[in-house]
Amino acid sequence: MLKRISTSREAILLYAIVLLLALIASRFPGFIAPANLLAVLNDTSPLIILALGQMVVILTRCIDLSVAANLALTGMVVAMINTAMPGLPIVVIITIAVGLGALMGAINGILVWKLDIPPIVVTLGTMTIFRGVIFLISDGKWINAHEMSDSFTAFPRGMFLGVQGLTWFAIIVVILFVILISRTALGRAFFAVGGNPHAAVYTGINVGKTQFAAFVISGALAGLTGYLWVARYAVAYVDIAGGFELEVVAACVIGGISIAGGIGSVGGALLGALFLGVIKNALPVVNISPFWQLAISGAAIIFAVAFNARANRVKGRVILKSAEHATS
């Protein structure tokens, strides 16, 4: 049991993060100061939230490449609402953001479920459409800090128990997902649909509805992150979070979420996001251009997929050997 825990994907990732921090700290001790580690966690919070939403989509053998565009469109919409009605309560703003994000996720889910279009094709299409809509409603213009109300930008930056509001949102989402995945029928359905969709049908699970629910959850979290992102950085524009969908997928794959579906964990997605977050924040410290992060994310996806494929082949050989011994 202890050996299985020590060699699990989550444990390997945790060791890698600790080793990475140790290597950076050997040259720049200030990087592992508690205040700086909290700042790294805060910077990584949007990635954590989106990775968890992406996780449930991937578990059902789908993928959502529109999350960053969803984030950008929602962020632009709530920023425009705030400039038009600066007195609108933040709770209403967040509700609009989550609702709009969920609606865009539902569009993806409907197209995959009812029209049986491959998820990668659907979300590539909606990704482009959402970016286009941002340009149409904003006329390509930016919304900057001086146009946003103080309450709008202050909410995710506010401190509670020494931790910023953005980080608390990520912590709450992690807790909710632990409950969703481990304690609810929907959480079990995600694994069943991804593991064996044909068998899931025979157990009474509606594969299409389950995939639809996954897209809605992913979209809702993208919408929430849209508000948090725009409020934190106090700017909204067409290309906000451009390419961020690659980092989201990378965080999931690095965390052991199988692209083939049915395999993954909340802890894995969390650690995958933290791993990329540490790398992103460490690059400027070691004088490496942050633009290398996309290359690193892409390489990490290839490595993680290859690692998963090799692990599955080894597992398959072990099962075959066990079967041979049982029949001999």
pLDDT tens-digit map of 278-306: 888 887 777 777 667 667 767 776 776 67
Q: Is the pLDDT reported for residue 33 higher than 50?
A: yes
Mean pLDDT of the residues in the chain: 86
pLDDT of residue 134: 93
The Cα 230–Cα 129 span in angstroms is 20
Dig out the tokens for 15 from the structure.
Answer: 């060791």
| Residue 244 within a domain | yes
Interacting residues of 246 by C-beta distance below 8 A, sequence separation 6+: 294, 297, 298, 301
| Residue 1 within a domain | no
| Residue 289 within a domain | yes
| Residue 5 within a domain | no
Looking at the structure of the chain, the number of domains it has is 1
Average pLDDT for 108-129 = 95
| Residue 2 within a domain | no
Average pLDDT for 114-135 = 94
pLDDT of residue 156: 86
pLDDT of residue 11: 85
| Residue 4 within a domain | no
Name the strand (E) or helix (H) holding 163: strand 163-164
Question: What is the sign, positive or negative, of the torsion defined by CA atoms of 77, 79, 83, 85?
Answer: positive
- CATH of residue 272: 1.10.3470
| Residue 252 within a domain | yes
The Cα 109–Cα 123 span in angstroms is 10
Range of the domain at 251: 10-327
List pLDDT tens digits, range 76-106: 999 999 999 988 999 999 999 999 999 999 9
Q: Is the pLDDT reported for residue 72 higher than 60?
A: yes
Least reliable range by pLDDT among 26-30, 164-168, 222-226, 321-325: 321-325
Residue 261 has phi, psi (to 5 degrees) of 90, 160
| Residue 3 within a domain | no
Question: What is the sign, positive or negative, of the torsion defined by CA atoms of 262, 265, 268, 269?
Answer: positive
